[in-house]
Copies of this chain bind each other. A is one copy, B any other.
Amino acid sequence: MPVQMHHPSLDEVALSAVFAALSDDHRRGVVVTLAADPDRELPCSALSVPGSKSTRSYHWKVLREAGLIVQRNTGTGMTLRLRAEEFDARFPGLLTNLLHLEGITPAPEGPAPEGPAPEGPAPEGFTEPNPRT
């Protein structure tokens, strides 16, 4: 009924909701597409989610309630915008990592051409959190 629907504050969204939202290929595709856009905002007519009007609307809702997008009303039509900064503040690195996994941004670690840095926290591999205390 309101011309502006409800968007949760980022600290009331649970990690479970985020993973659930991202576990669907179409929804994940929307996030990736938005992230790849310079404005991180696109008319939802530009997003490739199959199904009827109501089905598409349902998916926007899931993404909205996971804190991933804002839906904005633009007279005719509507746009989806990725809540990139807010989201990254709440779940640091998640979005960034998703884009790496989807190949949108290059992996942070190509094979280092020279000069390995055995000092400092190497940002690659799976560094054990608790190396045998």
Contact = CB atoms under 8 A, between A and B. Distances in A.
Given A19-B22, A23-B20, A28-B15, A38 B132 contact: yes
B20 A133 contact: no
A91 to B, nearest CB: 6
Contacts of A100: 92-93
A19 B92 CA distance: 17
Contacts of A25: 16
A124 B92 contact: yes
A37 interface: yes
| 8 A-B pairs with the lowest CB-CB distances in the bound complex, closest first | A19-B23, A88-B126, A20-B23, A38-B132, A105-B129, A84-B126, A93-B97, A19-B22
